[in-house]
Amino acid sequence: MTPRSVMRRLLLGVALASVVTGGCATGGGGRGSAGQGRQSDVIYGSEIAKSSALNAYDAVRLLRPAFLAGRGPTTLLRPRESSVSPVVYLDNQRYGDSSTLRNIPIDGIVEIRFVGATQAQMRWGMDHPAGAILVLTGAARRVP
């Protein structure tokens, strides 16, 4: 075998391996379990109703705990003061941090949606490094 044919076989093997692993790597993803026929970044009211949740925090904790995952320190100067959690919006109005989800009863919730940091910053401003949790109730759907 010549060095050229060895190199050709090696490159062909690497190309084939990258195609196979690339195809496998694109099959899943997202937060939660989208493979079960549900969107991983949304919790619908029907899912909440089937759960044992009493409030929005319980619903998120039970059904999509990754929504609550904050970011680590965002600065090296004061790492204890800069840990960040998602900002909560109730019917498109800023409501507070993730602990305020405990104040939202599950009655009337249409959906709870996680909005990633990039989209949250484009929509609501730069102070969303951990994204946002948007809770929509039936009242928000009735507004023209």
Q: Where are the domains of the chain?
A: 40-142
- Over residues 132-137, the mean pLDDT reads 97
**pLDDT for the residue 70:** 73
Q: Model confidence over 95-115: pLDDT tens digits?
A: 999 999 999 999 999 999 999
Whether residue 139 is predicted with pLDDT greater than 70 in this model: the reply is yes
Token duo for residue 56: 């929005």
**pLDDT for the residue 66:** 94
Question: Which neighbouring-strand residues pair with 96?
Answer: 88
pTM value is 0.67
**pLDDT for the residue 131:** 94
CA distance 66 to 85: 11
Q: Model confidence over 27-85: pLDDT tens digits?
A: 333 444 444 445 799 999 999 999 999 999 999 999 999 999 876 555 555 455 444 89
Q: Which CATH number fits domain 40-142: 2.70.150.10, 2.170.130.10, 1.10.1370.30, 1.10.10.10?
A: 2.170.130.10
Residue from 69, 71, 49 nearest 59 by CA: 49
Whether residue 142 is predicted with pLDDT greater than 60 in this model: the reply is no
Q: Model confidence over 76-100: pLDDT tens digits?
A: 554 554 448 999 999 999 999 999 9
